[in-house]
Every structure is written in C-alpha cells, then in structure tokens.
Structure 1
Amino acid sequence: MIPPYFLLGTCGHVDHGKSALIKALTGFEGDTSVHEKERGITIDLSFSHLKIAERTLGFIDVPGHKSLVSTMVGGSFGFDAGLFVVDAHEGVKEQSLEHALVLSLLKIPCILVLSKADKCQDIEASKEAICAALKPYPLDILGVLACSVYDLKSIQALKNFLSTYPFKKRQMGLDLEQLFRLYVDRVFVLPGRGVAVSGSVWGGMVRKGDSLLVASLNQVVGVKTLHQHGQEVQKAGLHERVALQLQGVKAQDLKVGMLLSSKGYLRGFDRLDIELSTYDKDPLKHNQSVGVQIGTHKLNAKLLILEYPYATLVLDAPVFACYLDTAIISINQRVWGAAKILNPIVDLLKKPVKLPLLKALAQRDLKTAFSLLVRAHKKGFGLLSSMQRFGCTHQHALEIANTLEGVLVDSKDFVLYPKETLKSVLYTLKNIYAKNPQALLSPKSLNSKHSYISHHLANLAFHALAKEGFLKQEGGLWLLAHLELDKLQDKLQDKLYQMLLEGGLTPEAPYNLYDHLDTDRQMGDDALKALCQQKKIYRLCHNVFVAKSALDKAINSMLEILRVSGYLDVQLLKEKLILSRKYAIAYLEYLDKRGYTHNEQGRRTLKNPPQA
C-alpha cells in the first residue's frame, strides 16, 4: 500500500522563523540561493519533505515578504493544510494578516505555530492575543502549538502532531478532481536529459509515459519521467509535489503559470462569470481594474458588476479555468479577496437569465442551471464541455439532464433541447417538402443544412412525420409518403445535370447543389457517378464537376489562347475566361492529364494538340 501523501505549506510574516522551522523538522536548508542567503528571506518557493509514521508530508516554504505575496499565493493553491507561523514574541504582523486572508479564501485548514517561543515570557497571553487578531478571518485552525528551534521537545511535539493528525485531502467533491491539472511553478533544464517543470497536482493522476497538453500553447507533450523529492516515481496524484521531465517541447517555450492538463477537456476563455468574496475589505467597483491569480498564472482584468457579489471578469488573456476554481483578486498588488468561478464558459445571456444561472451555480444546483440554459438555448445546449463548465463527467451530466421535464436529451451528441425545438424542426421539414416535393433527406443531410439539428433530433422529427402519414422511409432516406424512390432518383439525375449545364464553366460545388435540391449527399454522389459513367459530365478535381459541353468549350478556348499567345498560365486563363483561381487550375491540370500541354513551373506550352 502506498503511504498517504499530504502537502503542507508554511505561511506567515517575514522573519517569523518559517524556514528555520522547516529545517528543524526536515533538516532541509530552504534558502539556498545567494540572494536568499544575503537578504535572509525566502524569495522563491522551496520544497522539502518528511517521511513519518507511514505518511509522507511534502512542505512548501512560501516567502513572507510583502513584495512576494503573489509567490505565496501561487504556492498555496495545492496545500492540504498550512503551517501558519507567527512569532510568539512579536505577534501578528502585516503579512501574517495577508497570509491569513489567503488561507481563509482558499479554505485551507492550518496549524497555528507560535514560533520563537523561547523569547516569549507569557506564551498563553501571546496565544490569546494572536488568536484574537486572527478572529476576523474564518480560519479552520486544527491545532495551536508553541515551538522553538532551540527546544527539541517542542519540535518533537510538532512532529508528533503532524504524524498523527487525521489530515484529509482538500477536495470539493466534484468529478473535476479526476482531471489532471498542474500549474507550472518552475521551468528548468536537466543536463543531458532535457526540459522539466514542477508544480503541485490539482487533480487526477499523472503517470510516466502520459501525454499531456500545454494548454496555452495547444501543444501535446510526453512525460518521460516523474520525480518527487529527489526520487523517481511512477505516478503522482492530488496535492502532491512533482517534477515532470517532458519531451516534445522546448524550455524557452514554457513559462511559469502555464497549465498542463489531460488533452480534450479544457478551452481558453477571456471572460469568467464569478462570485466575489472577501473579509474586512471595501467592495469592488464596476469597471475596476484588478489583478487575478489562478495557481501560478497571473494576469489583469476589468471587473463588470452584474449584481453584487456576482460579476464578470474581462481578462487580458485567455485562461483555462474550471467550475468552482478560486481566483485570488488583488488591488495594487495587495490581496483583496477571491473570485469563485461559476461560469468558465461565458454565454451571451441577458442579465435576467444570467443572474439566476449564477445563483444556481453558486449553490451547486446543476439541475436548475441546466434548466435555465436549455430554455435560453432554443437551438440546443451542449454538454461536451461539462467537465470544465460544471465539474462533472458526461455521464453525470446526462444523469442530471434526464431528470429535467420538458427537455429532449440527445445522449449521443450530448445536446439538450427544449421540447418546443422539435416543433420548430417539424415546421422546417414541412416547409422543405412543400417547396420541393422531390426532396430526399436523411438526418445527416438535414444537419448539413441546419447544424443545430442533431441526428437524434432529426430522427425524432422524421418519425413523427411518418406517424402522421406525411413521410416514409425508403433506402435510408425520407420522402413524401405518396412518392417512389426510384422515380425520384431519375429526376435527381436530370436536375443535377441541368444545374451543372446552367453553371457553365464555373458550376457550384456538388454539396451546394445537394443543399439546393434538398437531397442526401450519398444520394447526390450516386447521381453524379451515374452522370459521369454516361459521360454527360466530367470530374476535373475533387470538388469540380462540369457538363461535357462546358468542358469542350473550355478546351477549345484554352487551345486557341495557346496558339495565339504561345503559352498559358493561371493568370492569363483567369483574365481570358473570367475564372477564379480554383477553376483555372482545375482546367489547366485537365489539359495536362490529356497530354495537350507541357507544364514548366506553372507555365503551359502546347505539346500535343488534338487532331481535328
């Protein structure tokens, strides 16, 4: 059995002894860079671990300096719990309060560690004062321990607490937690091995050999190896620190803040509908500029208030956020509060519809949210992005959808329709057959004419009209009940031939003709094939079919141009016969295939003129 892994982070004011505490617990010297040693503060995130009592505790030591709060925020998103360190002698300071705000906004439980206890004359009074100062923030404090790095008994007491406390993975209970996500906090090159990134796993599992998507690059990369606290591992899961050695990407293309995820689930959007929250801060204003941070990804945004606390963030770059993700909001580089992301895929909905939707999403009432969205999308509401948008799998989304009244559920294409949409499709079909009694339709051809009509919805409509005696199905096609398929097929050939004749040298593409004739594409292709076999029409290239009389005219005209001008190219043919480039190329290549011309870099000369 793999021992449980919990990720803990040290937080608190600068010089309150966070790094010294980690060194006393793990023996790890966190402040290793020259600048950190010179300044005596943690500048970057540092990482260590402790294997104790059949569990592994990963530690992230975040900086406590005021100017480095965004680094602290970036490290905090993956915490299962925090070691909130306050100097017992100095008490709560400015960054103690800002870190307490972040922990409370991210709902991270914490162990309150009163450090430098050897310098405090009245530890109980200090504890009371510190707890009172933190009272405005609804912190989930798991325990309060006084420590000194010079008192080994106090360090051992903290170790005992960490080894026995029943920590839990910080989860929201969404299917989304099955989806692998990791925001990069470091990019580095391993000598002789290639590029690697590190971060904390937000969800799912990553394994050696996996393929992942670098979301903002839309680039797939391979995972060559995984490393965790200096050891190669086969996999890493929720809220675990991990370094990934990647293949298929260059180090210079990767940046801190980029998201790695499983392919096929997430799309980027530059708008997010949100719910704002904070403690002891003034409300934000409409159209205010704010800083936004999701994991290690930092960007700027304009805030559009809908009805406080509901708002829309207009971001300066796309983000790949998901339902109920938390974004930290800052003003002038100071933490203001948080934005709970309710709608990561923003619809163009009017306020009277959007507000009830956001309120339902805030309550995690997906049934009501689905009902509102279906009513707002008369031509169908898709569930393909259900993992990103609602935090649930397709199957879970369909289970919710099937409980809704007045809704048609297409479980194959994952689309929901209000029942009134079926009436609209019936009306559309009757109009088609009224205007063109020779129409030969299928679900596929109807979808090509009206993309919102899925195959499932089309079949419902066709069968409803068959039940009325209006249509019948024959050979996979739907035709008026009193007509015969073989006679319609003959008429289809005649109509196609006539339309190609009328098109002259530049007839429309076959699929456009099929749409005009309200016929299924396979049926149209069969008719074209028959006309080609009868040599009534000729295929010049993939999408260009012309009547024989038009082709003969084109050949004669081209040969005449060749005789007069001595050469022929695309530009000359466009000018002489008033053709688009597509048709000009098709006719020239036909001449080449017939052996009439010699082609040298696009310039044709007469090679073998046809005999009279």
Structure 2
Amino acid sequence: MRTVDRPAHITAGVSGHVDHGKTSLVRALTGMETDRLREEKERGLSIVPGYAYLESELGVIDLIDVPGHEDFIRMMISGATGIDYLLLTVAANEGIKPQTREHLHIADLLGAGKGLAVITKSDLAVPGACGRVADEIRNFTAGTFMEGCRIIETSVNDTQSIDNLRMCLEQQLLNPVERNDTGQCYLPLDRVFTMAGFGTVATGTLRNGTLATGQEIDILPQGRRAVIRQLQVHNREEDTAYPGQRVAVNLRNVDRAGINRGDVLASPGYLKPTRLLDVELRLLDGPDDPPKYGETIRVLFGTSEVAAKLRILGGGQGQPGSTFAAQLDCERAVAAPVGERFIARSMSPVSTIGGGRILDNAPAKHRRSDRRVVSRLTRLASGDAAEVIRERVRAAGVRGMGIADLARSVNLAEEELAQSLDETECVFIEARRVMSGDAFNALCEQALAEIKEFHEANPLRQGQPLEDLRARLEDGIDETVFRFLVDHLATEDIIRTDKSLVRLRDFDPVEALNADERKIAGEIAAAFKAGGLQPPELNEVLQGNPQRKRLYRFLTETGELAPLHNRDTGRTLVFHRYSIDRAVRKLQRAYPNSTAFTMADARKLLDTSRKYAIPLLEYLDGQRVTVRIGDKRKLL
C-alpha cells in the first residue's frame, strides 16, 4: 500500500459509560457541540455519534463522541469503526462501569492500537478518589492494548486540565498511525440528508482510498453508480478527501430515498454485494453460553448492522476466549472489504460476544467439516502478505487472476502487490495476470502426461493435435493460458511443437515402426517422390490396404508427404516434400527480387500441367512462400 503524503491526522474515539462526561469533554476541547438531535439535548445523553475536530500546526485530530448508554451500543460501534486512537473516559465520582468495559472490548476488537485514559469530573470527586480511579484503570487495562497508557485528570471547569489534555493529544500527531491508500475508496455512511440547493449529502469517515470531485463511485449494496459533485472536510470545500478524514459527499442526481445510513460508497467494481462472508471470529472471555453452529447473531461493521447465521467451520464449537474460522450467512446483501473488522453481538439478551475480521468477501458456501477450508482461512488470517496473496491466487486455480482483481481481493495497492508477488512463486501468464506456481506446475505435469498417453495410444502419429490436448486439460483453461503453457514447455526443451501438433522432445514415431512397416512406408514415399510434380493417384499407391493408409497418414504427419486439394476435381493430390522444395528453388532462381509470375509461367517452368500447378501454387500461398496479387504471384 502506498502511504498518503498529507498533514498528520488522527481519528480518536471518545468512549466510556453513560454520563461520564464525554460530550462535555469534547465541547471543552474543541468548542463544538456534538449533541445535535433535540432528543439528545432533552435527555442529556448522546444517542448517535457526534463529530468534532481539533486543528493545530501539527495536523488535525477528528474526535468521535460515541454514545455511552447500553441502549445505543450499536451507534457506539458505528462511531468507533475505523478509529486509530481511544480516549477512554472514566468519571472520578463513579469509576469503571459496565459500558466502560464493553467500550474497551469493542475498541480492542475493532483494532484501535493506541489510547489514553481520561478521568473526568475530577472537581466532583472526594479527595483521593482520582488516585483510586487511576489504580482501577491500570488494573482494568492490564493485558489490553491500553496497558500502561497515560492517565490524565480533567474537569471541564478547569481550563488548565483541558489544555493539558489538548497538548497531550496534539503530541500524538508527531507519531500518527500510518494511513495507507490502496487506491480503492471505502466510505461507510453514518449520516444521509438533503440540503437546499445541493441535494443529497452523505457523510462518514473515509476508511480507505481517496475521493475527488467529479469521481464516479458505487453506492452499495444497491449497486447504483453516482458522481461526486462536491466534497467538504471540516466545513471547508475540498477537491480531494484522504483516508481517515471526516468527509461530506454531495452526490449528483441521487434521490434521498436511494441511499441510507449504513450504505457504502466505494470505487467502481471494488466491492460486490454478498450475503456470505468468511471470517476469523474471536469470542470474549465473558459469555458463559457461547454461540453455537447455526445460531443467529448480530454483526456490526462499518456503519451497518445485519443479522447473520453463524457457521463455525471445522466441526467444533466456539469456546469463550477462542478464535476460529467461521462463515456468516447474512439475512441481506452487504458490502465490505477484506480485512474489515466487525463486532458480534447476541440477539437476546443483547450483549457483545466477540469480534473479528473479514477474510473473504466473495466465498462459496462451505461444508461444516471441510478441513481444507479451515486451512485456507488460517493462511488468509496469517497476516503475511505473501501468504495471503499466494492463497488468493491458489484459489483461482488454472484461471489465474488479473492484477487489478488480486489487488482488490487482498486490499493492497498494486505497487505493494508487485513487491509481495516476488515472494509468492506465482507465474505471470501475461503482463497483468498471474497463476499459482503450484497450479501451473500441476498443469504442466498434466499436459506432459496427456501427451505421453497420446504417444502410447498412437505410436505412429507425429504428435498430438494442440486442440485435442487443450480439450483434455483441466476445465477452465483458456487460450491465453494454453499458449503460455505450450510455449513454456517448448522453451524449456521438454516438448516440440508446430502450428498444429505437439510431441515430447525425445519422441520419434519412426522408432515405433517394425522392419516390415518401414519397408512399406519407404515404398509409399518413393512412389510419390518418383512422380515428381505429376504424382500418382493416392488410391493407386494405397491399394485400399489399411496398413498402407495408416503409414500414409504417418508420412503426412512427419511432413515427408504433403496432401494438396485440387478444387477443380475435388480430389487430393500428394506431393513428396523433395518435389515441393525442388519446385520452390526453381521459382526462386527464375523470379528473384519479388518478380511477378503467372500460373502459366510457373506451369511452363516446372514442366507440369494445370491440374498439378494450381493446387501446388495454392499450397505455397498457404505456406506463405508465395502471395497472390490478382492473377499473378510473387515469392515472399
């Protein structure tokens, strides 16, 4: 993936238990109000994620204020998806609460890599309370990605404490999470609305790729195509939006009814709607009754929530704290890239049971006990780029994969894909198409076995027809792969081939003839050679004898005899190779330097009749020895 060169940027999620001061903290840090719904203001709690940002000379920090109430965990997950940094708030007068724990679990499952703990409402706590809460936080975060994190005491009524927190956040911009651009846009939508004079506007955190005005994008899972009219980032119109930024997208000619929260904007062709997802699922330690095979669970990723049947692969059952391969059968079509993280929640009672990441977003339906599928998904989950690429290409078999499709399937930019391909032993079938080295080697072995079998069954045939060989190879092999295969085997000096036949390098059909057959074949060849350019009739030479017919075909395949068709009589004339070569040499001497000649000129020079001259010249045309121009010809 190529690193995007732009000012430092962090997307920070502000999470914690309900009424632990998240919204007030964001307001104190930024001066922005994130509770925008009337119900939020009336109830004094956040229902949907709120968004604000901090700007400094070092860069920009987007702050996502996620709901803390247990009834709105779905909205919390939507807001936490894609964050790089977590501000875990804990009120000094209450300490760790249930949603504090669930929020940390969710942030961990969603891949947040850094964070700090903020003790809020320090002015409301009794003396010594902040110290006790800090100890509680240290114990609580032990063994998580936030172990040993910095802990800052704050009060929205203490300007100095807010300034300290702001300074700490800005220091994170000196070492931001490196964001990558695979060249493919992925924008889960968390809000859709209409604006007078603009039309439909969709907002979200750009997770991958870039957006630009005038760019075409897909609306998924509907599969509609749209064009970006305008972009805004932090209330400013921009020509381009980058990964990690909060962006508002004004879409041209899209009705509000045609797009919804939870939908996705993606580069054309990048994602396909699907109901099946192969995943790696990690269960939390807590559930006493882990989900079973076939159980319906809630799956949340991006800004979407969907019910899905859980199919645990490999024949076992999930245990608390375990990680395993599974397939999700969603109740409706969804769209998400490979590598996207998700949260799994039980249906009733509703609670977070685990999470994981998508390994394959276009799988076939699997049998529960298929260990090969489990092995394949284990390789995809390894995190080793070369191994993941190798597995994707291996799954494509003899069809191979185009570079663009492969890059999309592994979520890499083509530049990084090219670097990683060097470690995979993949074979380039053409400039932008690769095949697994194992698949290609197996195809080579199959082709050689087929050719050998043909030789054994047809010892007097000069070689196997190319089309016959292709028809016998694995289903799915196309002309490009077949030609590459034949050229490779010929270049490696394993086979010999011409325009229509292929044979093993050491195969010589003459060796298969016994003494009697060699004698008869010699008689047949000698008869046509003696006839020169007025050869005998084929039937006279073969005498209706099956053995002589078989040996005649052998001589034509070796090229010693050339059967030519006389269109005037509809009969086959057979010339010996010696006679044809001798005729060509005469024409070359008589008509050098592309001198033109007629059929009558050639007939007279070669001392033969029209009956033989016409098919001979037409044969030479077909062999690209001569070319006909009107009623004349010239040598090439």
Moved more, 420-429 or 118-127: 420-429
- For 1:429 and 1:258, how far apart are their aligned partners in 2? 53
Bigger radius of gyration among the two: 2
AA of the residue aligned to 1:342: L
Q: Tell me the secondary structure at the aligned position of residue 379 of structure 1.
A: helix
Q: Tell me the secondary structure at the aligned position of residue 161 of structure 1.
A: helix
Cα 1:488/1:373, change in 2 over 3 Å: farther
- 1:592 match: none
Moved more, 208-217 or 388-397: 388-397
Give the drift of 1:42: 1.0
Cα 1:323/1:472, change in 2 over 3 Å: same
AA of the residue aligned to 1:392: L
AA of the residue aligned to 2:478: I
Q: Is the 8 A contact 2:446 2:473 kept in 1?
A: no
Structure 2: tracts of 5 or more residues without a match: 319-323, 501-555, 572-621, 623-636
AA of the residue aligned to 2:302: G
Q: Is residue 2:78 matched to residue 1:74?
A: yes
- For 1:27 and 1:267, how far apart are their aligned partners in 2? 41
Q: Is residue 2:336 matched to residue 1:321?
A: yes
Give the drift of 1:458: 2.5
Moved more, 98-107 or 320-329: 320-329
- 2:499 match: 473
- 1:312 match: 327
Moved more, 92-101 or 365-374: 365-374
Moved more, 51-60 or 362-371: 362-371
- So what's the TM-score if we normalise by structure 1? 0.70
Q: Tell me the secondary structure at the aligned position of residue 331 of structure 2.
A: strand
Give the drift of 1:302: 1.2
Cα 1:264/1:440, change in 2 over 3 Å: farther
Give the drift of 1:99: 0.7
- 1:419 match: 441
Cα 1:407/1:47, change in 2 over 3 Å: closer
Alignment of 1:41-60 (within 5 A): 41-60=45-64
Cα 1:114/1:373, change in 2 over 3 Å: closer
Give the drift of 1:321: 2.7
Alignment of 1:186-335 (within 5 A): 186-282=191-287, 283-307=290-314, 309-332=324-347, 333-335=350-352
Q: Tell me the secondary structure at the aligned position of residue 340 of structure 1.
A: strand
- For 2:473 and 2:223, how far apart are their aligned partners in 1? 29
Q: Is residue 2:26 matched to residue 1:26?
A: no
Equivalent of 2:373 in 337, 354, 357: 354
- 2:359 match: 342
Moved more, 480-489 or 162-171: 480-489
Q: Tell me the secondary structure at the aligned position of residue 255 of structure 1.
A: coil
- For 1:7 and 1:484, how far apart are their aligned partners in 2? 79
AA of the residue aligned to 2:327: T
Alignment of 1:524-543 (within 5 A): none
Give the drift of 1:483: 9.6
Moved more, 182-191 or 446-455: 446-455
AA of the residue aligned to 1:327: F
Q: Is the 8 A contact 1:380 1:418 kept in 2?
A: no
Q: Is the 8 A contact 2:182 2:413 kept in 1?
A: no
Cα 1:460/1:129, change in 2 over 3 Å: closer
- For 2:147 and 2:208, how far apart are their aligned partners in 1? 22
Give the drift of 1:430: 9.2
- For 1:180 and 1:36, how far apart are their aligned partners in 2? 32
Give the drift of 1:337: 1.4
Q: Tell me the secondary structure at the aligned position of residue 296 of structure 2.
A: strand
Q: Is the 8 A contact 2:138 2:147 kept in 1?
A: no
AA of the residue aligned to 1:363: S
Q: Is residue 2:483 matched to residue 1:458?
A: yes
Q: CA offsets, 1:392-436, max 9 Å, x none?
A: 345655655554569675544333333121343466789999999
Give the drift of 1:252: 0.6
Q: Is residue 2:437 matched to residue 1:382?
A: no
- For 1:490 and 1:313, how far apart are their aligned partners in 2? 66
Q: CA offsets, 1:445-479, max 9 Å, x none?
A: 989996423514334326747978864228xxxx9
Q: CA offsets, 1:345-377, max 9 Å, x none?
A: 325677232222222222223544555666666
- For 2:392 and 2:565, how far apart are their aligned partners in 1? 42
- 2:157 match: 150
Give the drift of 1:89: 0.8
Q: Is the 8 A contact 1:353 1:372 kept in 2?
A: no
- 1:523 match: none
- For 1:42 and 1:89, how far apart are their aligned partners in 2? 20
Give the drift of 1:267: 2.3
Cα 1:370/1:181, change in 2 over 3 Å: closer
Moved more, 403-412 or 116-125: 403-412
Give the drift of 1:198: 0.2
- For 2:390 and 2:245, how far apart are their aligned partners in 1? 37
Equivalent of 1:14 in 18, 22, 46: 18
- For 2:231 and 2:357, how far apart are their aligned partners in 1? 32
Cα 1:234/1:395, change in 2 over 3 Å: closer
- For 2:267 and 2:95, how far apart are their aligned partners in 1? 44
Cα 1:37/1:371, change in 2 over 3 Å: closer
Q: Tell me the secondary structure at the aligned position of residue 329 of structure 2.
A: strand
Q: Is the 8 A contact 1:188 1:196 kept in 2?
A: yes
Q: Is the 8 A contact 1:136 1:280 kept in 2?
A: no
Q: Tell me the secondary structure at the aligned position of residue 483 of structure 2.
A: helix
- 1:551 match: none
- For 1:59 and 1:320, how far apart are their aligned partners in 2? 26
- For 1:136 and 1:209, how far apart are their aligned partners in 2? 47
AA of the residue aligned to 1:310: A
AA of the residue aligned to 1:458: R
- For 1:148 and 1:66, how far apart are their aligned partners in 2? 24
The alignment yields a C-alpha RMSD, in angstroms, of 3.9
- For 1:37 and 1:469, how far apart are their aligned partners in 2? 80
AA of the residue aligned to 2:245: E
Q: How many residues align?
A: 487
- For 1:137 and 1:454, how far apart are their aligned partners in 2? 54
Q: Is the 8 A contact 2:8 2:173 kept in 1?
A: no
Q: Is the 8 A contact 1:176 1:388 kept in 2?
A: no
Give the drift of 1:207: 1.6
AA of the residue aligned to 2:357: K
Q: Is the 8 A contact 2:192 2:256 kept in 1?
A: yes
- For 1:85 and 1:364, how far apart are their aligned partners in 2? 32
Moved more, 26-35 or 68-77: 26-35
- So what's the TM-score if we normalise by structure 2? 0.68
- For 2:250 and 2:72, how far apart are their aligned partners in 1? 27
Q: Is the 8 A contact 2:201 2:251 kept in 1?
A: yes
Q: Tell me the secondary structure at the aligned position of residue 407 of structure 2.
A: helix
- For 2:201 and 2:71, how far apart are their aligned partners in 1? 27
- For 1:34 and 1:280, how far apart are their aligned partners in 2? 38
Cα 1:379/1:490, change in 2 over 3 Å: farther
Structure 1: tracts of 5 or more residues without a match: 495-525, 527-612
Q: Is the 8 A contact 2:214 2:229 kept in 1?
A: yes
AA of the residue aligned to 2:335: F
Give the drift of 1:342: 2.1
